[in-house]
Every structure is written in structure tokens, then in C-alpha cells.
Structure 1
Amino acid sequence: MSALPTPARQRRKDARPAELLAAALDVFVEKGFAATRMEDIARRAGVSKGTVFLYFESKQALFRAVVQEAVVPHLAAGEALVEAADRAPAQLLPELLRRYWQVLGDARLAGIPKLVMAEAGNFPEVAAFYHENVVQRGRALFMAVLERGMQSGEFRVGDPLVLCHLAIAPLMFSCMWRQTLACCDTESIDPEIFVQTHLDMFMRGLLADPAGERKPE
């Protein structure tokens, strides 16, 4: 006996949390955390304010859910890539950095770190959540690859935390620049040229024996 079809109202109810999170992401990025109101999100999602509170008890809870839905899956994908360990660290690290760059290149997702950094002083609990669930988790991912490369002799020995910052900071700065001052800058840089130049310079400095620099025996 075939199962009865799910009523349209039930399907709508099941999809509603995802719809609310999509609306919340857009509004948070547009307005920032402080200026966003639950009624703004409800209006964007086409529901009542009370409906939003049926699923999320507060604006903080809704923001946490947005991060878990929109950002954390990218970290999980990176962790799975590293766990597979089917390629050398010197190949894996640039791929992870490019994936990170692609996430930052998404205007909606790039608005989240901008929001957190801009409003961390007024909402330390929001910053602490983001730091624990995104920053620290991402940092651990990159540091694991760096440490693996040092152990294998592919990378020069150095402080993994410092190297992690050196790898990520230029990409994050470029993201913040595009989100803020790029509109005032008359001398723009092609994003692809920027990231490729950064990767070339960083990896050349990191590799214990950069390609093309081996001394003849």
C-alpha cells in the first residue's frame, strides 16, 4: 500500500525553518546584527513575527542557526577533505585556501564575518559563538594540514598558528575591503589575480624545497 502524500500545509511547515534562515541571512547581512529586528526577518520571509518566535526564541538564537546552516557545512566539507588524506599537504593546503576564498567571495556569506567584527564590542556573546564554532574550527583545520606538511618534510618548520594567520589574513582583508572601501577605490585588483599571487608567494615561502629551486647534485 503506497504512503499517503504529505499535505501541502505540512510540507510548508517543514520547509519554514529553512525559509526563515534564508531570510535572516539576507537581513543580517544588509542591516547588521543590532539593526535587524525579528519583524524585518518575518516580513522578508512572508510570515508573522510570532511565527519566527515559534522556531527561534531570540535574535541571538536565530543568528546562531544562520551560522550553523550557512557557514558550518563548508567547514565540515573541508574537514572531510583533510580526513581523506588522499593528497600531499602541498596540494591540499592551496585547495583549502581556494575553498575558503570561494566562501568569502559569496556576498551573502562574506557579510557574516564583517557583521561579527563590526559588532563584536557590543555583542560579545555573538562574537564568542562565531569564534568558537567558525574561527577556531577553521584554524584547527588549516593547522592540521600545516603540521602534517612539516612532519612529512614538505613544509619548513614554523609556528603553525602564525603560518595559519599569514595564509588567511590577506584573504580576509580583501574580503573586508570589497565589503567596505572598494566602492571608493579607483584602482581595483582582479580577485583571481590577487588570490593566485597570494597562493604563489605563500606556498613558495612555505615549501621546504620550492619547485625550480633545487640545487643540482
Structure 2
Amino acid sequence: MKQEKKFSRRADARPDEVLDAAIAVFAQKGYARTKMDDIAKAAGISKGTVYLYFPSKDALVEGIVRRAVTPIAEGALPQLAAFQGDPRLPITMLIKVLVGLLGDPERLAVPRLILREGMNIPAIAEIYRRDVLDLAIPTLTGLVERGIASGHLRPLDPELTVRSIIGPVIAHLMLSEVFGIRPEGKLSFDRLMENHLNILFDGISAQKAEDAP
């Protein structure tokens, strides 16, 4: 019985093991040069077993992306969509969640893959857009629109404001992972978050009556 339970746990965990192996091999060889044989070898299983769970490399990328964004898609985004009030609080929480996820080297592997391979492999960019951006951008846009309507934010272009909210995080990652430029040699996500939120909220918050000239 113990052996059966052990096998059951192993089978349940196997898709994650395949995804972990795929991330490692993609990082080492690049998406285009990676073969399913390479992933199977890294995972310690047969190629047929890999195909059992993921019929193609595109399916592997989709699995990697979905696994990474599930905590946000199922947790943060519904809360943002339903939020009423000062949007600076949920924006702060969202940035903190992103920083927490990106501070994990295993989680960082996913946006690193998108940044390095997305321009060369259209399927990767399309998967990330469909499973992440097409969900997150409308939700954030609605949050900003409600913040403007309630008077918490200045009257700004909501769609462009969303780009200003998430843009610095993307630019920070790109400078680090594509160009190898890091502040003091580190990613420093905590410092980036504090600096970004200070600049952001000073720029988009509505002026209080007592602050008016």
C-alpha cells in the first residue's frame, strides 16, 4: 500500500516535474533549440510520458505560463475587478504580489523566458497575451476608470495609465534579463516597488483641496 501511495503522489506531481524541466532546458538551450527528448531527459522520464501531459512545446509554454499566473488570475484579479474605493490600495497590493512572485527565482524564469524568446517565437508571446495580458489589462483599466469617477485619481487616460502602472516593472525586468543592467548588481525589486509607487501616486492621485494652490 505504501508503494501505491508513493506512485500516486509521483503521478500527480509529474506534470509539474515536466514543467520544471522544460523551464530549465529552455533557459539553457533556448526555446528553438530545445527538443522534447531534452525535456524528457531532464525530467527523468520517457519522451512518451512527456507527450502524455504536453503534446507540444507550445503546450509546455502554455502550462508554464498558466501555472505561474494562476495565483494572480484566481486571487488578485477578481478582487481588483470588484474593488470600490481608493484604487491606490489594490494597486499597491498588486505590485507587492508581483514583486513577491518575481523575487522567487523559479517564478522569475517565466517572464525571463517571455522577454528572451517572445520576439522570436510568436507562439510564446501569443500565449502570454491570451492568458495574462488580456485578463490583467482590462481589469486594471476598469479599476483606474472607477478611481477617476470616484475622484480618487486625476482625469487621465485609463488605458495609458495602466501602462504607466505596469510599465516600470517590465522595463526593470528587460534591463536586467535582456541587457544585464541591474542596480548595484541586483534586481532590488523591493526598492523598485517603493520608488515606483511613490512616483506613481504623486502623479496620478487627485489633488486634495488643502493642497490646491
Same-fold status (TM-score > 0.5): yes
**Matched AA of 1:178:** S
**Matched AA of 1:164:** V
SS in 2 for 1:34: coil
Q: Output one character per residue of 1:124-153: Cα deviation in whole Å (capped at 9) or x when no partner.
A: 122112111112212122212111111111
2:202 to 181, 204, 212: 204
2:211 to 187, 196, 214: 214
Sort the Cα spacing of 1:137 and 1:29 in 2 relative to 1 into closer, same or farther, 3 A.
farther
Shift of 1:121: 4.0
CA contact (8 A) 1:149 1:155 kept: yes
CA distance in 1 between counterparts of 2:110 and 2:61 reads 10
Of residues 11-20 and 84-93 in structure 1, the stretch that sits farther from structure 2 once superposed is: 84-93
SS in 2 for 1:57: coil
CA distance in 1 between counterparts of 2:149 and 2:83 reads 14
Shift of 1:90: 2.2
Sort the Cα spacing of 1:17 and 1:164 in 2 relative to 1 into closer, same or farther, 3 A.
same
- Which stretches in structure 1 are left out of the alignment for 5+ residues? none
Q: Is the aligned partner of 1:120 residue 2:118?
A: yes
CA contact (8 A) 2:83 2:143 kept: no
Shift of 1:186: 6.1
1:131 alignment partner in structure 2: 129
Q: Output one character per residue of 1:165-205: Cα deviation in whole Å (capped at 9) or x when no partner.
A: 11111111111222243468767684423221111111111
CA distance in 1 between counterparts of 2:50 and 2:34 reads 13
1:147 alignment partner in structure 2: 145
Sort the Cα spacing of 1:32 and 1:187 in 2 relative to 1 into closer, same or farther, 3 A.
closer
Sort the Cα spacing of 1:201 and 1:36 in 2 relative to 1 into closer, same or farther, 3 A.
same
**Matched AA of 2:77:** E
Taking only aligned residues, the RMSD between alpha carbons, in angstroms, comes to: 2.8
